[in-house]
Every structure is written in C-alpha cells, then in structure tokens.
A and B are shown apart, each in its own frame.
Chain A
C-alpha cells in the first residue's frame, strides 16, 4: 500500500511538464526478472518451445495479438493503428492483430485469458489490470532493460507502474495513458456567473455554486459511473486512502458508523437541497450527464478524468472553454485542497506470450515520441514521456497539476467488495435524488453491508 501511495506522488511529479527523466536502478530488477522467467518456465513446460522459437526468430511470421480497450471508432484507435503500421514496417515478419474490444473488455479479460484465448498484449486502467498480476502477466524487466522504452518513459510514470507490480519494483505494467481526476468546468459559465477565485473550502464551493445557479445554470452534474469517484474523493480527503479501502471491504458495518460518512452525506445532501445538483443527478446513467448536460453547456461542473475533453469532443465542438479545478477541501480534510486524484492506463504482456521481445518493441512504439505526440494531439491524452506539448483542451489540466501539491488514487480507493459497492452506490443514488436523508443513507448502507 505504501509503495502505491508513493507511486501516486511520483506520478504527480512526472505528469508535470518539463520534469527531467532518469532511469531506475535496472541491474537489480533485471536479476529479479531472470529468476521470474525461470520459475515460469518450470511451472508450464509446454510453452517453452514456442518461446524459444520466438527468441530464435525463425523465418515464420510472428503474430502478436493485442486486445485494446478502445473501440475502433475512437481517436485512440486511429493513432494506435498508425503506430502499428510503423512497427510492422520496422519489424518485418511481425504482424499485429488488434481486437478493438472497447471498454467492456475489462469485464471479460480474466475470463478470456482463463479460457485460452491467445492474447499477447492486454490493456486496462491501473486498478483493473493490476488484478491480473503475476498469475496472468509476464515480468518484462529483462526485455525492457536498456531499451528506448525504459529511457523515454518519465521517471514518475515508471515508478507508478512499478508500484503496482507484485514485488513493487519490476516492469509488469507499461504505462499507456495517465489521467487526472478533478472537477472539470465550463469557463464560459464561470465567467458569466462571475466566479473568479476557485473555491478552496466547502463554504467557498457553496458560494461558487450559488453564483452559477443565480446565473441560470445547473452548478454540478454527474453520471452514475462517476459518483464513486466524487464521493470517494471526498472520503479520502478526510480519512485517507487506506481507510477508504478498508471501508469498502468492511462487511461488519462498523466502519460505516464513522461520523465521516454522515458528514459526507450531509454535505452532498446540502448540494442537492440547495439545487446545486442538476435535477437528473441520481438518475443519470452514463453518459447522460456528460453528453446531455455538461457538454451541451447546461451544467457547469462535472467530476471526471482528464479523458473527458476527448470523449465529448464531437458534441462540444471547438469553442468549449475547458477549465479544471481542485475538489474543494471538506471540513477536517487531511489533505490540502490542492489535491487531485490520479491513475493510469496500463499495458501488460501475458505470461504465455511467445514473443515478449517483439511485444515490448510494439509497446516501445506505442510510447515513442511520435505516437505520444499523436495521442496527445488527436486523442487529447496526457503523455507518458517528457517533452510533449499538451493539447489546448488539457492546458487546464497541466495548470492544475502544476498548482497541485498532493494526489491520491482515482476514486480514493483501489480495493472494494462488489456487493458493498452496489449497496453504497444504490444508497448514494437515493441520497442524490433526494429520496432519503443523510441519516437514512447511513442506516441504509449499514444495514445493507452487514
């Protein structure tokens, strides 16, 4: 847990532009990797012939299978297609087969691997890909050592990815696309409402909302999918990430009687009661609020990740003025208000991959300056390497990160029991829709998780 926290901090540093890169201590990790390889070999003898064939690189065509978490109509897909074309040109005899599986792939990745699908490269966000762990994924340390990939990826990004490795220091995950979680806002509405200083405390936040409401807009909207990110941020601010992790795995219901839960419920209930939430909050099914309210300019703020400008690009058009602001510090916050949440999309190479060298070479192409610049320009991603200029719509995120002094993981937690999550989300939806009061919320969750 400690390592992950540290990693988050380092990721923060890395994402700030202009931070110099420096390689990690690769010698030690290389040894670790070799050992790992041997163990793998002993466990599963039948894969060895394939591996050797791959390493000896005979005349046969090598096929790498990559299951992308993008759908083919997304901008990321078109950038990665170009990268794959470059890779195939540079590596004669290697062919990449992509399954543009889309985000749903996360739900079935493990089942697909279990059931013997040939998948070489997998992709997903830090919290779901790390569930695959060493049981499914390969330690890439030996293959990464000394390559462009190792030298180009920014130091903080590397430590963040390594912090998720089973041993906390090897390359199991190659960073693909980092993200920042914060309130995204519509600058035009803020200007019209006369909000100048960004709210730092909850009180100031309420004032800010009131001004926006007076100007005739819905101050905040949010979709069901991102409620956990917003209330998780709140809880982690006052109680810390480790506590939130415990909370969402606590089946006794004891932690749920903590006054912090009630405080959160009261604060969010106040937002609803004062009309600072759009009417639809509590009933928005992703992406109803994102597309129908925030992108169309009827709501001013939307808690989300930095992928947002890209996802709504077709609806907002070019005129939309993007702003990003810190989540206001609730009363008793352990963290300063200049804290944002963060996470990263990862690539991984499966344990049974016969051509790990080629797979790493492909990932090197994905993290090359050309691809990263294209991803930044066309898909509005935050790069994983240094010296890439952020796109116009993400300048606000860059500024936010520069002003940021602390960060923790997206959602404020990285472990959860699905049933507790379901009970909590259900109760929070009802709270946000005004069906139950804060005390009712606490009771409902408590009686549900027991």
Chain B
C-alpha cells in the first residue's frame, strides 16, 4: 500500500490542489501572480464576463474551432490514408513509417522555423519556387504571412507535423485486424476500397475515437505554433492558451497589466472544453469492444 504513496502524493499536490486553486483564482482579482490568497479580491464572475465580451477572446475561440475541425479532418484523413497504404503490402514499409513519423521527433521550434523562414518565405521559399516552376502563378503569388493566409499557413505546418503520430496509431489499430478477414474478402472479389469500407473502417472505430480525443486535447492546448508564427499577440493566430500565457506571464513591452485572475478563468474554460469534448466523444462514438 505504501507503494501507492509517492504517486498519490504527487497527484494530490500537483493536480488536485492546483486545480482547486486555479478555480478559486478565477473568481478573484490578484494584485500579482505570487500574492497570497489573503490579498485576493473577490470579483465573482467578472473575469469570465470580461472574457466573453472581449473580441480577442472570440477570435481565440474561433481559431481553435477552425484548428480542431479543419485541421482535425485533414490530419485524420491523411493519417488514415498513410496507414492504409502502409498496411496494403507496400515495399520498404518500415522506412516509410519511420520517415513519415520523423517530423514528430523534431522540435516544433525547428519545424516552424523551417516553414516560416524557408517554405513560406516570400523571396526564396520552397512553395513559391515550386509553384512558379510548375506554372501555378496564382499559388506562387500567395504570401503565406499575409493576414489572409497566416492562419492557414500555420495550420498546414501544424497538420504536417502531426500526421505521423496519428498514422502510427491507426497503423497499430489496423495491424490488429486479423489477416484472414481480408483474405476471405479478396476471395469474395472485394476491391481495395470495399475492403477498407467494410472491414478496416468498422474495426478501427475504437482507434478512431482515440484519435479524435487526442486531437481535441491538442487543439484546445494549441500554443507552440501560434507563438512561433506570431511572437506578439496576433488576432489571426491567437488561441486561448496563448492569451493565458500573455495575461499571466506577460509581454512587458506592450505594457500589459498582468492579470492572473483572468488567466485562471481562461485555464478553467480550457479544462471545461476538454471535459466537454470527452463527454461528447463518448456519446457519439460509443466504445464498443468489438471481438475479432
């Protein structure tokens, strides 16, 4: 029983207590982040209401919704595509698998630099040169850091960095499906698409659910790429966590009044979003343990 002690202690100290404290903070105005609770001023729901009326907060919520939905569909479709291709008996499967996963092992700072300073660069960028080489002048003209495209540029690079991970998860799901199911389908004359639709897809529902949940958590916590694409807060790329970082840990050069209470309210909202996502996912994609 004592063996449970350290883990339990760690859980209570680093999860339960901070959780309660953040919730409390979100109803208070704090003079500074390190001030003791005696100095907190109770403000009720004010932190929340001022968030709900802030247009920057609205942009942040809109941005993560777009990241979650559009980025999520793109990532999951691509990851599934690669997983299906890799399990269809291609040559050098292990090489492809390692190579597609490779971007996930690279620091997001390095990856986003690759995208921003090279791929999207408006002078010598890969996309610009590639598209003008094949005659796509319209694409070559796109300036990926312009207000219309900055968000999409960020989303494309984020999706590129994520696909490998989700592919691995799908891959392990598909590999658990018994081979003989496919063999009998081939005997019945089912083509590749039919096999996917009638065997693979239904049997990886559980994995699919895992992927959606993982994607939801990562898009709610979206921060690193937003920070790399816009070092200073930018309405086009801001996310709730970015806003929280700004409010609590602050940018001195904008004269921000650091506001830990408002930041805590944001933290609570982010956590509620994750919770809601879990509940909805459980409802839509009920976990059915399929026996095969």
Inter-subunit contact A433/B147 (CB<8 Å): yes
Partner of A128, one of B34, B56, B149, B252: B252
Which residues of the partner chain B approach A283 to less than 8 Å between Cβ atoms? 122, 143, 145-147, 149-150
Cβ of B33 within 8 Å of any chain A Cβ, yes or no, is: yes
Minimal beta-carbon separation of A294 from chain B (angstroms): 13
Which of B18-26, B162-170, B233-241 is near enough to bind chain A?
B233-241
A131 to B32, CA, bound (A): 14
Cβ of A107 within 8 Å of any chain B Cβ, yes or no, is: yes
Inter-subunit contact A416/B252 (CB<8 Å): no
Q: Mark A8-37, 1 if CB is under 8 A from B, else 0.
A: 000000000000000000000000000000
Inter-subunit contact A422/B234 (CB<8 Å): yes
Partner of B251, one of A107, A280, A429, A430: A107
Which residues of the partner chain A approach B252 to less than 8 Å between Cβ atoms? 106-110, 124, 128, 131
Cβ of A310 within 8 Å of any chain B Cβ, yes or no, is: no
Interface size bucket, A side? Answer: 35 or more
Which residues of the partner chain A approach B184 to less than 8 Å between Cβ atoms? none
Which residues of the partner chain A approach B121 to less than 8 Å between Cβ atoms? 288
A283 to B33, CA, bound (A): 35
A61-117 residues with Cβ-Cβ distance < 8 A to B are 106-111, 114-115
Which residues of the partner chain B approach A429 to less than 8 Å between Cβ atoms? 146-147
Which residues of the partner chain A approach B88 to less than 8 Å between Cβ atoms? none
Inter-subunit contact A426/B249 (CB<8 Å): no
Which residues of the partner chain B approach A198 to less than 8 Å between Cβ atoms? none
A225 to B230, CA, bound (A): 11
Q: A292-B123, A435-B147, A448-B55 are in contact. Are A110 and B258 (CB under 8 A)?
A: yes
Q: A423-B56, A426-B147 are in contact. Are A128 and B32 (CB under 8 A)?
A: no
Which residues of the partner chain B approach A448 to less than 8 Å between Cβ atoms? 55-56, 235
Closest to A107 in B: B251
Q: Mark A271-306, 1 if CB is under 8 A from B, else 0.
A: 000000001101111001000100000000000000
Inter-subunit contact B122/A426 (CB<8 Å): no
A163 to B204, CA, bound (A): 68
Inter-subunit contact B236/A426 (CB<8 Å): yes
Partner of B254, one of A111, A292, A418: A418
Cβ of A421 within 8 Å of any chain B Cβ, yes or no, is: yes
Which residues of the partner chain A approach B143 to less than 8 Å between Cβ atoms? 279-280, 283
Inter-subunit contact A288/B122 (CB<8 Å): yes
A292 to B123, CA, bound (A): 8
A248-283 residues with Cβ-Cβ distance < 8 A to B are 279-280, 282-283
Which residues of the partner chain A approach B113 to less than 8 Å between Cβ atoms? none
Inter-subunit contact A418/B147 (CB<8 Å): no
A421 to B232, CA, bound (A): 10
Partner of A108, one of B54, B249, B254: B249
Q: Mark A421-450, 1 if CB is under 8 A from B, else 0.
A: 111011001100101000000000001111
Q: A285-B145, A292-B123 are in contact. Are A419 and B56 (CB under 8 A)?
A: yes
Cβ of A406 within 8 Å of any chain B Cβ, yes or no, is: no
Which residues of the partner chain A approach B251 to less than 8 Å between Cβ atoms? 106-107, 418
A283 to B142, CA, bound (A): 10
Inter-subunit contact A435/B253 (CB<8 Å): no
Which residues of the partner chain B approach A416 to less than 8 Å between Cβ atoms? 254-255
Inter-subunit contact A114/B34 (CB<8 Å): yes
Which residues of the partner chain A approach B233 to less than 8 Å between Cβ atoms? 418-419, 422
Which residues of the partner chain A approach B116 to less than 8 Å between Cβ atoms? 285
A280 to B252, CA, bound (A): 28
Inter-subunit contact A288/B145 (CB<8 Å): yes
Cβ of B37 within 8 Å of any chain A Cβ, yes or no, is: no
A115 to B148, CA, bound (A): 39
Cβ of B250 within 8 Å of any chain A Cβ, yes or no, is: yes
Cβ of A378 within 8 Å of any chain B Cβ, yes or no, is: no
A292 to B124, CA, bound (A): 10
Inter-subunit contact A433/B146 (CB<8 Å): yes
Minimal beta-carbon separation of B125 from chain A (angstroms): 11
Minimal beta-carbon separation of B211 from chain A (angstroms): 33
Minimal beta-carbon separation of B257 from chain A (angstroms): 9
Which residues of the partner chain B approach A419 to less than 8 Å between Cβ atoms? 54-56, 233
Which residues of the partner chain A approach B148 to less than 8 Å between Cβ atoms? 433, 435
Minimal beta-carbon separation of A411 from chain B (angstroms): 11
Closest to B116 in A: A285
Minimal beta-carbon separation of B284 from chain A (angstroms): 35
Q: Mark B207-250, 1 if CB is under 8 A from A, else 0.
A: 00000000000000000000000001111101000000010011
- In the complex, 25 of the A-B residue pairs with CB atoms within 8 angstroms, ordered by the A residue number, are A111-B250, A114-B34, A124-B252, A124-B253, A125-B253, A127-B253, A225-B232, A283-B145, A283-B149, A285-B145, A288-B122, A418-B233, A418-B246, A418-B254, A419-B56, A419-B233, A422-B238, A423-B55, A423-B56, A425-B235, A426-B147, A426-B235, A448-B56, A448-B235, A449-B55
Interface residues of B (CB under 8 A from A): 32-34, 54-56, 116, 121-123, 143, 145-150, 232-236, 238, 246, 249-256, 258
Extra contacts, 18 of them, besides A283-B146, A422-B233 (Cβ < 8 A), are: A107-B251, A108-B249, A114-B34, A127-B253, A127-B255, A131-B252, A280-B122, A283-B143, A283-B145, A284-B145, A285-B116, A285-B145, A418-B256, A419-B56, A422-B56, A422-B235, A429-B147, A448-B55
Interface residues of A (CB under 8 A from B): 106-111, 114-115, 124-125, 127-128, 131, 225, 279-280, 282-285, 288, 292, 415-416, 418-419, 421-423, 425-426, 429-430, 433, 435, 447-450
